[in-house]
Structure 1
């Protein structure tokens, strides 16, 4: 399921005195292994129009997105606990805790009005530079306003609070209150601006990814996948369960892993090779219902896109089996 855009600003009163005028040098703000246990989902949107464009002129962003999203591979990983780390030395300017961890829905959207960033920490690095850490786990905030931190200090845990439906950390970088892309801090209007940006060791970039994943009750076609019409929220016990994925810019040799779990455990697991991918494609995998029917309850699927064993993207999908 495509994650919903988060709102970046946690405008609480700062208690800190600026430390230095130099721009910060950032380290990875999540205690994970990029390409193995986490991946960069989205970048700052550099397109001033209604479209989307990341710093490399790819499409790994969303219209108006104001930060860098580092996503975990599963909800189970979040439940095990993954630390959010200070990306650079500074003083904690503000914190917020107490926002429930739950995937956002139209029914709950109004309940987080003004708290779209979820549980969060804002750090002042001096010289007008600040970093913002959004969507952290409820009750996990480990620092207080006015506390000095060093790069790598634990701020809390990756969570599911605020305007999101997937466990991830949204890292925002601000200079004098304005959003800065840490991969292209000079806002140069070039593709792949080059250099390491604000990073001590710039994370690698690949333009391939997943538009979406979803469950259906039959193998869909690309048109219904693209439009969203293929996505089913409910199925009956006698219907097939089919997990699909919409991929962009894959290369020959890339793989898609499809897994699904239900009330009785594993439903299916398979790996598909993408031998001749195009700019866009979709793949699907599923199972017919057993003779006794699927047990009623919640089912969750994951699709993971990999290249040479390195995770490029992942998506999840949910469906409920109910008797009608």
Structure 2
């Protein structure tokens, strides 16, 4: 049984990590968050210590480290994006391997810094790249590899996840902390595209605002028009009033159905990490490079056939 600590216990994604720790037969020993709305711990690991001050959390971890039978094995990081680097480094220097949510860090420069701390501590960083474990994505990857070369796939990615007014008041609405909508809600999709279609060859940005972003990506095996949004107004008429989220990926006009099957992906990720098959720094590099470029790129005018239909609709209004 491995012993875990969790940083960011009050966040949206933290319960999936808590459940993955329990479902893999391990123990949540301690948790930290500046907010104390963490009652879900009672149903998963009621004996876990909990702290609202990082210094007390860290000191508790160091005390455990002195007792080899009680020392932590892993630190899971679910804190706001801009704190990932600091919390990962803290976990590594505690002598633990670290499992971190996406995006791992905002830039390749910070990624390289993490690699240095890995070398200094002898510990490892793992990124949750959960879509690599989704069966529909694995099936598509197998199909692409089986069909080999030839024409590139024509892919369209649309992801609209409605967010209320609270979103812009939270850290997620602050681009200094979330790194913008494309990074915050899109990074795992960019990883998925790389996982399936190979190296990125072009990365054009057609539209960016606080609420949405769109562009064109060209991979070794695909041309991708993408659109991401947190604006409920972008939901298709067939979805409005029924569901808050619309997720669609088509390849050569054929819908890739992956609306289901998300529930257990964190547990699967933990199983792979614990078995020594987790995704580390170099696995995350490609999607970190992608979002870093999107944040820095100048807006370009789409070439023929490269604009997402939602961008065309906006430009015609």
Question: TM-score, structure 2 length as denominator?
Answer: 0.26
Query: Comparing both structures, which one devotes a greater share of its residues to helix?
Result: 2
TM-score w.r.t. length of structure 1: 0.26
Structure with the bigger percentage of strand: 1
